[in-house]
Structure 1
Amino acid sequence: MKKWIISIIVLCLLISVGMFYSTKQSVNAHNVVLSNQVFNATFSSAISEADWEKGDIYVKNQQGKKIDVDYELSDNGKYIEIPGLSEGTYTMFMKKKYGMGKTRVQFNVFEDIQPVNSRAELTAYFDLVKKVQGNGKEDKVTTETEESSVLSVEAKDSSSSRGGDYSTTNNQVEGVDEADMVKTNGSHIFSISENNVVIVNVEDSVNMKEEAKIRFTDEFYPNQLLLSDKTLMVIGQKNNIPLVIEADNTEEKEQKSTEETKKIAQPIDSMTTVYFYDISNPKHPQLLREIATEGYMVGARLTDNILYYVTSVYPRYSIMEGNEDVELRPYTHDSSRYLLPKPLSYSDISILPSTLVANYSVITAIDVENLLENKVITKAYLGGSEQLYMSQDNLYLTSTYYDSSNTNQNAREMIWNPGKMDTEVFKFALNNTSVEFVGSSRLSGTILNQFSMDEHDGYFRAVTTKGNRWDENEVSENNLFILDNKMKQVGSLTGLAKDERIYSARFMGDKAYMVTFKETDPLFVIDVATPSAPKVLGELKIPGFSNYLHPLDENHLIGFGYETKVVPQEGSKEPRIMTEGMKISLFDVTDLANPKELDTEIIGEQGTYSAIQHDHHALFQHRDKNLYGFPVSIYGKEEGQEYNQFKQDGALIYEITPEKGIVLKGDLLKPENPAQLYEDWEEMIQRILYVEDSLYTIAMKEIKRYNLNTYEEIGKLAY
């Protein structure tokens, strides 16, 4: 069965790289779908149900027999969905009235995704990708006419304290730790300083002490850390790595020497590399192991002592013509097994359904509890990844799908308006280090970030923005989708907040909160308790917007964003919306139908910003004391000044409660210095954390300690 399936894939790919002929009706569809999913196609010209009834459009199975199919046709006649197809090869035929002869679209339905298995299959895939991109199209399937072969390529919240009395990273999901630039275990602070990792002992309540500095060469740039008991993981990018390829018959041999291998000229551009250190003695961290995966980091998570990380890889397929030595597989490295990086086995590479793109998503997993003994598991999937959401049981990756069927656009128009954009969501089940593809689903619109996604009671929920504010043909609107554990859509809300886009979102159990914006900030409260019937319960419109929402408790949210003002424009019906100072909002959603803004705090003037507005890891929180803080740079202007200028930077700590509102407790801003025109990057605060009764601000070149009760500075360490 598997050989038959693979043969069909290869055949479809090889057929696809024929000559291109224009046709009146172009079809945008995928040639591979899974049996638990829906085959869908988009047409450049509208079709009708009457066309199906008259037999002008029909579907045949692999035996060449016409079959009856259930289908759903969109109102405009340009989009069709066909569910319920079993495994096999199918062809959708369209009679001559739709183009040059009888157009046919061939596609395959599989029970699950299959490994690539050979260089020939992988080369065929990239040949097709290259051919498709050469015609200026992407992500389409083959159509054929009777006259010729045609390539129509239109074809839960986590607490800030656990165990001991010290900070942890502000994570999205309880029990799933996210990589960040600073970590602490209560006795030591581990922080990234340029291309070093500094280990600072904070056990002494008076004096801080630098105990060690892990120094890396210029080829490695650390940017994230994770901690698991006595193991420190340093994650970053390593560049200019010597590249080797192996003959297929030596692929599975351990590469303890370079025998039977040969080098080629091009080094690997970048590998996401993880260094594991034993920090049982923090004064002398010991390197235990180094693993690496080709590509740039999408995200890293740690749960139950299992490290998962995802990279995105663009192989060197653009130079493969006439160069048999070009390796199209992603490279990996494991210092416990190999001297040099080696390519993945073909059996570890699969093509994700509904995709035809040039890059891989590579998922790597390792159990760090018995680090020296455990095997690294790496799987590569042909299909892009942009956003990552992970629960304790499943990993979700997203990829934007561009429908550029409007071929009349020139290059500049496509930059400003790339056409219809949807999101493909891929689900992977996690079982220790095993990662298995479950299914995928296409959602209308695009996903903003990881907080636009959530998993609860086996259901996946996501909010998207469809269209663009500046596109009169498809004005923006916002949607919510709910999918079951097989990635089948079971409920949705569409058409929310037209002519606006999502600025932030947060799921909290049976409720979803979404902020959209154009001139005011509508906060939507959505009931998702019944997956098949989500409904909007309430809406609050206020000036400004929040670009990060954080739960205070089950009935209150904190919003971090900007105040705005509306400025009329002479000769235009549309006013100009200008951002002002940074804004903190305290929302009360006790009465779900009538959400309220209990309190607000405006910080600085236009230009003021904080890392919290684009990186949730920058939020400091102390749940027991109701404290929330963040680094901030203040901008403003004095009387007579025309433009806002930098005034000061530092950090602010607030007590936030429903009873008292937003109360400033700690002002850790540096004094204003008229001679200082901009921030000093070495002293800019990156993160804030606490250990017992001390608060620490961490900058690139220094750590400061404050009394957590009085906010008096009690220590400073430069490094």
Structure 2
Amino acid sequence: MVLKKRSVWLMVAAVIAGIVLSFAFYIDKVTVSASSIALSEQGWKANFSEPLKASAISDGTIYLVDQQGKKTNAKLQLTQNGHSVKVTGIKPGSYILHIKKEAIQGGFFKSMSTSKLSFTVHKDLQTVKSEKQLKDYFAKLKKQMSQMYTDSRADSAESENSMDSSNKSALSSSGGEADHSETNNQVEGVDESDMVKTDGKFTYSILNGRVIVTDIQNPANMKKMAELSFDAEFYPTQLFLHENTLIVLGDRHVPYDYEETSGKVSSKMMMPVNSSTNVRFYDVKNAKNPKLIREIGAEGYLNGARKTGDMLYFVTNVMPNFWAMEGAKDVELRPYTFDSKKKDKVSSMPLSDLSILPGTLEGTYSVITAMNIENPEQSQVVTKGYLGGSNAMYMSKEALYLTAPIYVPSKNDDNNNAIDRIWNPQETNTEIFKFNLDGTKVEFVSSGEVTGMLLNQFSMDEHEGYFRVVTTKGFAWNTDELSENNLYILDAGMKKVGSIEGLAKGERIYSARFMGDKAYMVTFKETDPLFVMDVSNPSAPKVLGELKIPGFSNYLHPLDENHLIGFGYDTKTIPGENGSQPRTITGGMKISLFDVTDFANPKEKDVEILGGQGTYSPLQYDHKALFQHRGKGLYGFPVTLYQGTNKDGYDQYAGEGAMMYEITAEEGIKQVANMIKSSKQQNEDWEQLVQRMVYAGDTLYTISMKETKSYDLNTFKEIGVVTY
């Protein structure tokens, strides 16, 4: 009898445990992300993975107190369907936002990752005051990152390429009437670094870790004039040419000094190599004998570099090893800089040159370096570091814009669920930081947030005091919550004044271009919609027309104010097998000529398909690979060709080289030269791949790792070759 009663109680206990376990299973953890710094003019915002109740503010389940613990008169507002709380009308000082569990919709089934959010409000951007402030910032960041998974940076696979500023820049930014090539820049008067530069007499090329100077004045008898070789610690990546100064930007990897410490692990042992972007200045007045005159550097990987007039600007991204703060004795949280003019060793940046940007809580610095290069041997170098990180970069003559992701907390956040991290990357919005440029003075102006992620620099544009940007919200592969695409316009103070939202649901942006009062955007999933948008009225932008065609464009380039050239891929649909859904796959490289004379009815006036599946060009991910001679209407690019089928039914490698087209509004797309070297081998030879094409006078030059070839720019007959 006793055993029977005991069995019954065990069964009851098991049932109760099961109910409790099931109940716990349905409890969702609510995660929150918010910045620790805000500016009084812009306000402060917190993002929640679950929506707050509409009555959360009025019923007092969410409220704000000042540093004395008193409730404030600041305005609290729910936005984004309750997923965000925005606070405005706040004076400088320290504040804490209190969130009760009852504030969350369905709060009985929710658990909060935190119930208090502290932040500080300043009138203007402040420099870091002490090492303690810096340590406190990273400690808070580390705590927040441990509460929500951040492996979701996989969303950056939706990123990186380039764009334009006005009709004028779109039509003349690449030196159409010059007697030699210039880089295909986004903004007129703002030069971008590249792997090849020319002054019409010499080419300066980065080839296989070296910089080669080639005399091209006699196309039939070109000569290698000089070679800049580097030690194993420095690898050149980008070039500028400024009068008689060659500027070489590169990655420099320097091993830390290993230091043994008693009791605790040394931070220098935990990170054996650090990386910086170093810039070397060479006097090339005598091209046979380039002379190194100075070297400067800033810690981090190069985000972007620009040259306007006599000014050089470059931005690096660096994340200090703040994860080692607990176990290491002395973690350096400041970026370092280097200047051969001052000393041979690197030095950490002073706190007075570091600031914390509002709106984000990021562990990455954006380090901005400015230098007048009229006299590079003696010029002052000014470097500032901004905590807040940066992804894409856009620069006009007057301003520099950097973007940083704002992670939107997800209900799927689960540190223990690795599968979720892989298949559900975290959605982000974008914070855009604006800096005014005045010589070496780089001054933070303001920041603004937009919904969604940027594709690349061509997602951004500045025109007549307004900043325009296009974004994709969500992920195109997510069938549960369809992605959508947006356009936003911000004023000079980075406040949103106009928008178009909800375009092309279920698709993402593949390319964009701004041309004065018009914006063009290509999205894709199964077809290629080209959107034509009127942005002449910043407060009321509107869609004028839409064109749907097979394929998509990775890069849009202006031909004239009524025509665009699109470079991308052709696509085809493959029927599904055994009742499965049909698949869309890429085919050959596609060139489209778009006629937007009638904005409401854009047309694909002409099209060219090159090769079969596998054919590609660097132009499809790097706009600087485009060759153009506007005076002759010529457009060319390097290409690797696949065509025909092998025994397994796949398109096979056929050769590499370059193609040249004459593209005009009147005649459309006409192939004028095929400089592809056919091959019977099965695989590509990367040393033979053409990297860039340039011209000087009436001669065209193709540059690969092994050689430079010259061609008559009128007949395209080969003239000469120089090998390296």
Structure 2 unpaired stretches of 5+: 1-26, 152-168, 260-265
1:126 aligns with 2:132: no
- TM-superposed CA distance for 1:108, in Å, is 2.4
Q: Which of 693, 713, 717 is matched with 1:708 structurally?
A: 713
Equivalence map 1:249-648=2 (5 Å): 268-407=273-412, 409=414, 410-570=417-577, 574-638=581-645, 642-648=649-655
Residues 432 and 24 from structure 1, CA distance in 2 versus in 1: closer, same or farther, beyond 3 angstroms?
same
- TM-superposed CA distance for 1:268, in Å, is 4.4
Greater mean alpha carbon deviation, residues 121-130 or residues 487-496: 121-130
In 2, the alpha carbon distance for the partners of 1:406 and 1:95 equals: 18
1:116 paired residue number = 128
2:238 paired residue number = 224
Deviations 1:27-53, CA, capped at 9 Å, x for gaps: 433232112224222334433443433
In 1, the alpha carbon distance for the partners of 2:342 and 2:42 equals: 40
In 2, the alpha carbon distance for the partners of 1:57 and 1:127 equals: 25
Tell me the TM-score normalized by structure 2: 0.87
* Residue identity opposite 1:437 in structure 2: F
Q: Which of 89, 96, 103 is matched with 1:84 structurally?
A: 89
1:236 paired residue number = 250
In 1, the alpha carbon distance for the partners of 2:80 and 2:195 equals: 49
- TM-superposed CA distance for 1:549, in Å, is 0.2
* Residue identity opposite 1:123 in structure 2: K
- TM-superposed CA distance for 1:454, in Å, is 0.6
In 2, the alpha carbon distance for the partners of 1:240 and 1:55 equals: 55
* Residue identity opposite 2:445 in structure 1: V
In 2, the alpha carbon distance for the partners of 1:489 and 1:36 equals: 14
- TM-superposed CA distance for 1:124, in Å, is 2.0
1:15 paired residue number = none
Residues 492 and 243 from structure 1, CA distance in 2 versus in 1: closer, same or farther, beyond 3 angstroms?
farther
- TM-superposed CA distance for 1:568, in Å, is 2.3
1:673 aligns with 2:679: yes
In 2, the alpha carbon distance for the partners of 1:168 and 1:395 equals: 22
1:201 paired residue number = 215
**Is the contact between residue 551 and residue 570 of structure 2 (CA under 8 Å) also seen in structure 1?**
yes
**Is the contact between residue 244 and residue 284 of structure 2 (CA under 8 Å) also seen in structure 1?**
yes
In 1, the alpha carbon distance for the partners of 2:141 and 2:418 equals: 20
- TM-superposed CA distance for 1:103, in Å, is 4.2
Name the SS of the counterpart of 1:133 in structure 2. helix
In 1, the alpha carbon distance for the partners of 2:456 and 2:537 equals: 24
* Residue identity opposite 1:459 in structure 2: Y
2:179 paired residue number = 165
1:696 paired residue number = 701
Residues 160 and 469 from structure 1, CA distance in 2 versus in 1: closer, same or farther, beyond 3 angstroms?
closer
Name the SS of the counterpart of 2:183 in structure 1. coil
In 1, the alpha carbon distance for the partners of 2:268 and 2:577 equals: 62
**Is the contact between residue 244 and residue 263 of structure 1 (CA under 8 Å) also seen in structure 2?**
no
**Is the contact between residue 562 and residue 583 of structure 1 (CA under 8 Å) also seen in structure 2?**
yes
Deviations 1:412-467, CA, capped at 9 Å, x for gaps: 21222123221121111111011111121221110000001111111111100011
Residues 273 and 408 from structure 1, CA distance in 2 versus in 1: closer, same or farther, beyond 3 angstroms?
closer
Name the SS of the counterpart of 1:165 in structure 2. coil
**Is the contact between residue 423 and residue 445 of structure 1 (CA under 8 Å) also seen in structure 2?**
yes
Deviations 1:376-399, CA, capped at 9 Å, x for gaps: 111111122111111111111112
- TM-superposed CA distance for 1:24, in Å, is 6.9
Residues 444 and 396 from structure 1, CA distance in 2 versus in 1: closer, same or farther, beyond 3 angstroms?
same
2:19 paired residue number = none
In 2, the alpha carbon distance for the partners of 1:211 and 1:47 equals: 68
- TM-superposed CA distance for 1:198, in Å, is 0.6
In 2, the alpha carbon distance for the partners of 1:492 and 1:572 equals: 41
In 1, the alpha carbon distance for the partners of 2:183 and 2:614 equals: 27
Greater mean alpha carbon deviation, residues 467-476 or residues 689-698: 467-476
1:33 aligns with 2:23: no
* Residue identity opposite 1:495 in structure 2: G
Deviations 1:477-509, CA, capped at 9 Å, x for gaps: 000011111111111111000001000000011
In 2, the alpha carbon distance for the partners of 1:74 and 1:574 equals: 38
Residues 277 and 687 from structure 1, CA distance in 2 versus in 1: closer, same or farther, beyond 3 angstroms?
same
Equivalence map 1:38-117=2 (5 Å): 38-62=43-67, 64-74=69-79, 76-95=81-100, 97-98=102-103, 103-117=115-129
Name the SS of the counterpart of 2:688 in structure 1. coil
In 2, the alpha carbon distance for the partners of 1:680 and 1:430 equals: 44
Name the SS of the counterpart of 2:141 in structure 1. helix
1:258 paired residue number = none
Residues 71 and 286 from structure 1, CA distance in 2 versus in 1: closer, same or farther, beyond 3 angstroms?
same
* Residue identity opposite 1:673 in structure 2: S
**Is the contact between residue 226 and residue 289 of structure 2 (CA under 8 Å) also seen in structure 1?**
yes
In 2, the alpha carbon distance for the partners of 1:70 and 1:45 equals: 21
* Residue identity opposite 2:679 in structure 1: N
Name the SS of the counterpart of 2:686 in structure 1. coil
- TM-superposed CA distance for 1:309, in Å, is 0.7
**Is the contact between residue 504 and residue 546 of structure 1 (CA under 8 Å) also seen in structure 2?**
yes
Residues 193 and 639 from structure 1, CA distance in 2 versus in 1: closer, same or farther, beyond 3 angstroms?
closer
Residues 218 and 442 from structure 1, CA distance in 2 versus in 1: closer, same or farther, beyond 3 angstroms?
same
Tell me the TM-score normalized by structure 1: 0.88
Name the SS of the counterpart of 1:50 in structure 2. coil
> Taking CA–CA contacts closer than 8 Å with sequence separation of 6 or more, which of the two structures ends up with the larger relative contact order?
2
In 1, the alpha carbon distance for the partners of 2:635 and 2:101 equals: 66
- TM-superposed CA distance for 1:109, in Å, is 2.0
Residues 59 and 123 from structure 1, CA distance in 2 versus in 1: closer, same or farther, beyond 3 angstroms?
closer
**Is the contact between residue 388 and residue 397 of structure 1 (CA under 8 Å) also seen in structure 2?**
yes
In 2, the alpha carbon distance for the partners of 1:290 and 1:24 equals: 51
- TM-superposed CA distance for 1:673, in Å, is 2.9
Residues 196 and 104 from structure 1, CA distance in 2 versus in 1: closer, same or farther, beyond 3 angstroms?
closer
In 1, the alpha carbon distance for the partners of 2:30 and 2:204 equals: 60
Deviations 1:520-565, CA, capped at 9 Å, x for gaps: 1000000011111110000000000001000001100000000101
In 2, the alpha carbon distance for the partners of 1:458 and 1:634 equals: 44
- TM-superposed CA distance for 1:133, in Å, is 3.0
Residues 23 and 539 from structure 1, CA distance in 2 versus in 1: closer, same or farther, beyond 3 angstroms?
closer
* Residue identity opposite 2:192 in structure 1: E
**Is the contact between residue 404 and residue 418 of structure 1 (CA under 8 Å) also seen in structure 2?**
no
* Residue identity opposite 2:440 in structure 1: T
**Is the contact between residue 36 and residue 486 of structure 1 (CA under 8 Å) also seen in structure 2?**
no
In 2, the alpha carbon distance for the partners of 1:534 and 1:71 equals: 29
In 1, the alpha carbon distance for the partners of 2:523 and 2:434 equals: 27
**Is the contact between residue 267 and residue 331 of structure 2 (CA under 8 Å) also seen in structure 1?**
no
Name the SS of the counterpart of 1:312 in structure 2. strand
Deviations 1:115-158, CA, capped at 9 Å, x for gaps: 1132222222222233333444569xxxxxxxxxxxxxxxx334
* Residue identity opposite 2:82 in structure 1: G
Name the SS of the counterpart of 1:280 in structure 2. coil
Name the SS of the counterpart of 1:318 in structure 2. helix
Size of the alignment, in residue pairs? 664
**Is the contact between residue 48 and residue 408 of structure 2 (CA under 8 Å) also seen in structure 1?**
no
